[in-house]
Each structure stands twice: as C-alpha cells, then as structure tokens.
C-alpha cells in the first residue's frame, strides 16, 4: 500500500469521525437545552453507524473525491424537537452551531499537535511546514519514510476536513446548520418559502457551485495553513 492509498484511507477515517462528532455535538447540546430526543435514540455517540446518511455520507464524498474537492457532506440529521427547548430561538441556534464549532475545535487540536511535532524535531519541522504546499501539489509522500509522515498526514487531514465541514455546514442554505440561524430573522411567510426551496439551493450549491465552495473554504483553510508555516 502506497502513502497515497494510506492518505485516502485517512480521509475516509477522518471524514467519518468528523461527521460523527458533529452530529454528537448537536445531540449533546439539544439534550443540554432540554430536548432528550436525540439522546434517547443513541445519537450522542462517535459510532459512525449511528450517523451515516446514504447521500451525504457516501455518495457526496465520492463525488467530491472524483472532482478533486476536499471531503464534503453531511450525516443523518440529528432529530430535534424544538418544543422541548426552554428558550426556543436561542436553544435552536446553540444546537445548530454546536456541530460546526466542534469541527473547528477538532481542527484546532490537530493544528496544535502538528505544531508540537514541528517543535520537537528538525524532521518534524520540515514535514509540518511542507504539508500545505505538498497537498496543493499532490505530493503527499514528501520524500521521507519516517513514521512522522503518516502521523502528520492524518493530523493534516483532520484539520482540513473538519475546517471544510465546519464552513460548509455554516452556509445559510436549508437544511444546513447556518439556515437555523438565518430563518429566525425571517417572517413566517418567507420562512416557509425558505424551508421549502432550500433543498434545491443546496443541490445547486453542491453540484453547480464548485468555484463558490472553493472560495468559501480557501480563506479559512489558508488561515490554518499559515499558522503551520510559521513554526
């Protein structure tokens, strides 16, 4: 198995973990806010089997892979009953943004681990600093057979995929998490239209908005990359 194959395997592992922690965070926050629905259905778990969605977890990541996009997608939506919330608007927003925030926290933890590796050895420093450029050029081997290479690749994938999923889910298009924030600022009539046609907007965004998605992801990924290249 080549390092490129290992990298693809890492992408799959990280993606499944990223969507699992994302949905588990929704379920945990909903439970904290008074709605035990997801908890009773066993959704506060990192077991990906509980969260897999045929389209969002399997088909869309495959399409993204063939289109040379970072892994994007979604898991089976976390069931939430807003009637159980103590504060309807605030608790709905908190439950919605808990997933993306958790993805950004995981990405930040991966960056901290990469920085630690960069500071502990010269080889680690070279590998970590070369990761952003190596990925842009498709050179994941980086000319070394050190065990640090696959470790750094796994951490870099954890950073990249969690950032992409966090940004993607904050887009205010139903049923993505960002829509749960925007919809509270709409009138009842506009909200009904927004919820009805939103799924078509999501389909258009995924399949027709490749350039737009890249422009949304790149600035945030670049921020994390710039942190790595400073050490």
Give the DSSP H/E element, type plus range, for residue 176: none
Please state the rounded mean pLDDT for residues 92-107. Answer: 96
Q: Structurally, how many domains does the chain consist of?
A: 1
Look at the pTM and tell me if it is higher than 0.85.
Answer: yes
Residue 160 has pLDDT above 90, yes or no: yes
Please state the rounded mean pLDDT for residues 14-20. Answer: 92
> Could you give the angle at which helices 210-228 and 122-137 cross, rounded to 10 degrees?
170
Residue 143 has pLDDT above 60, yes or no: no
For residue 31, name the pLDDT band (cuts at 50, 70, 90): very high
Please state the rounded mean pLDDT for residues 176-184. Answer: 87
Instruction: Report the pLDDT value the prediction gives residue 93, as an integer from 0 to 100.
Output: 94
Instruction: Report the pLDDT value the prediction gives residue 185, as an integer from 0 to 100.
Output: 85
Lowest mean pLDDT among 3-12, 184-193, 211-220: 3-12
Tell me how far apart the alpha carbons of residues 33 and 35 are, in angstroms, rounded to a whole number: 6
| Full residue range of the structural domain in which residue 64 is found | 3-228
DSSP, residue by residue, 9-29? HHHHHHHHHHHHHHHHHHHHH
HEC string of 118-130 equals: HHHCHHHHHHHHH
Closest by CA position to 165, among listed 21, 67, 45, 42: 21
Going 66 to 140 to 5 to 76, the CA torsion angle's sign is negative
Instruction: Report the pLDDT value the prediction gives residue 192, as an integer from 0 to 100.
Output: 84
Lowest mean pLDDT among 77-81, 167-171, 189-193: 189-193
Instruction: Report the pLDDT value the prediction gives residue 162, as an integer from 0 to 100.
Output: 95
């Amino acid at each position: 198995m080549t390092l490129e194959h290992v990298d693809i395997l890492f992408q799959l592992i990280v993606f499944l973990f990223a969507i699992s922690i994302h949905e588990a965070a929704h379920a945990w926050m909903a439970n904290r806010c008074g709605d035990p629905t997801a908890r009773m259905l066993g959704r506060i778990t990192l077991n990906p089997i509980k969260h897999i969605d045929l389209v969002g977890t399997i088909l869309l990541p495959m399409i993204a892979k063939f289109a040379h996009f970072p892994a994007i997608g979604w898991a089976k939506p976390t069931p939430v009953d807003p009637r159980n919330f103590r504060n309807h608007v605030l608790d709905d927003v908190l439950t919605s943004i808990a997933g993306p925030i958790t993805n950004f926290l995981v990405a930040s933890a991966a960056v901290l681990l990469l920085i630690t590796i960069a500071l502990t050895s010269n080889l680690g420093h070279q590998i970590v600093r070369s990761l952003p450029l190596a990925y842009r050029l498709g050179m994941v081997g980086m000319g070394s057979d050190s065990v640090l290479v696959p470790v750094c690749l796994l951490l870099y994938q954890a950073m990249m995929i969690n950032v992409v999923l966090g940004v993607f889910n904050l887009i205010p298009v139903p049923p993505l998490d960002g829509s749960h924030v925007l919809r509270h600022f709409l009138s009842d009539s506009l909200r009904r239209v927004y919820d009805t046609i939103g799924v078509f907007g999501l389909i258009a965004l995924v399949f027709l908005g490749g350039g737009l998605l890249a422009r949304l992801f790149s600035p945030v990924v670049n921020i994390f990359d710039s942190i790595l290249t400073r050490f």
